[in-house]
A and B are shown apart, each in its own frame.
Chain A
Amino acid sequence: MKCEDFEQTIYLYSELSESERFRVDAHIQTCVACKELSQRVLSTQGLIEQAALAKPDLVNHARLTSTIMQAITAQQQQSTSWISNLFLKYTMVAGSLALIIAFGVEQLSPVGSVYKRMPETNTVTLNSASFMKAALDRKENPEAVNPSFYACVKSGDCNNPLIESLKKKSL
């Protein structure tokens, strides 16, 4: 193995198994460059271990605990109101959907339908004879209908009290 192959194992010496360490140690004994690197890495590790002893510490533990507990209480209240808002929202959506469905069902239901199609008009083709039939029937059998106010005034034959009073005034 070349020195470059040992570089990684020197830096990761603490992570190696015993047999791997033995192999690295044997190489270091025979290689000046790797021995130098190993010493440098060990010195760095020593400094890092020394720095690790100085733990960053909170100035005021009680204040942070209190802040955390306040945040948790606020978060709990927020989630409770969120759940109740969600419940209200879903209730309203469900109510609206129920109304829409009820309206749709009523419209589509055949019971109580007000439309009656004539058998003659049951196709897409317009059958003018069926529309004309009603007009022709009226013409052949005219019914006694009350004349309009205009027709009464024009003919002067009606027994309308308003027309009678107008006639008297004109006399």
Chain B
Amino acid sequence: MPEPITPELIQEAVRGSQPAFRAIVEANQGFVYAVAFRFVNDSQEAEDITQEVFVRLWKNLKSYRHEVKLTTWLYKIVTNRCLDFLKSRNGRQRKNKVDISTTHFVQDSSTPEKEFQQQELTRIIHAAADELTPKQKAVFILRDLEGLTSEEVSEALSMSAGNVKSNLFYARKKMTEKLKAMYQTTDKQFL
């Protein structure tokens, strides 16, 4: 999760302060990039989307409502942008071309072997998630990979609670089936 931003800093940015906006960018670009990458599986595309997200944020900062968390708003912008990308011709062409080899991951592995296993698992999860519909993928990424609550997912995707649950059910079901199939074909133990 990103670092919290003070309301005063947001106010300064709303008034047009570029240094305040830079601080917001520095604190949040990491998580925006991570979400974008999980959607598009391409570091260059993810960087471009991150840039577009912050330009869009700067343009619309005056309409920012203080009752909504800035991070929720950013999740909303990045998810919408990623969904547009997935629906676009470019996004459809990229489907099933998961290549995480050029991307750096913040690992939680103590040994090189564990690190390799972690990378392999990440690749498999990303490949399986690529098979989901854009909405299922969005719910899966925000709820299961980013760890947002169901209410936050609902807010970020402008989706009803029932719709979120329905998409999450189909996403988890497909992921379970895909992972089982993938592990079976790679002769690895699973479940």
Contact = CB atoms under 8 A, between A and B. Distances in A.
* Physical interaction between A and B: yes
Nearest to A8: B169
Given A44-B172, A55-B106, A61-B26, A72 B18 contact: yes
B121 A65 contact: no
A15 B105 contact: no
A59 B168 CA distance: 31
Chain A interface main SS type: helix
A58 B105 CA distance: 8
Interface in A70-93: 71-73, 75
Nearest to A54: B105
Contacts of B168: 11-12, 15
Interface residues of A, number: 33
Interface stretch (B3-11, B50-58, B68-76, B85-93): B50-58
B172 A57 contact: no
B34 A56 contact: yes
Contacts of B121: 47, 50-51, 54
Task: Indicate the size class of the contact surface on chain B.
Answer: 35 or more
B25 A69 contact: yes
Contacts of B54: 68, 71-72
B161 to A, nearest CB: 9
B21 A54 contact: no
B26 A65 contact: yes
Contacts of A41: 172, 176
A64 interface: yes
Contacts of A39: 191
A11 B172 contact: yes
Contact of B104 (A44, A50, A57): A57
B66 interface: no
28 contacts: A8-B169, A15-B150, A40-B176, A40-B180, A44-B176, A44-B179, A45-B144, A50-B118, A52-B146, A53-B108, A54-B106, A54-B118, A55-B105, A56-B46, A57-B33, A58-B33, A58-B47, A61-B29, A64-B29, A64-B50, A65-B22, A68-B50, A69-B25, A72-B18, A72-B54, A72-B55, A72-B58, A73-B18
Interface of A: 8, 11-12, 15, 39-41, 43-45, 47-59, 61, 64-65, 67-69, 71-73, 75
Given A49-B144, A61-B30, A65-B26, 18 more contacts: A11-B172, A15-B165, A44-B172, A47-B179, A52-B147, A53-B107, A54-B106, A56-B34, A58-B30, A58-B47, A59-B43, A61-B29, A64-B29, A67-B51, A68-B25, A71-B55, A73-B18, A75-B59
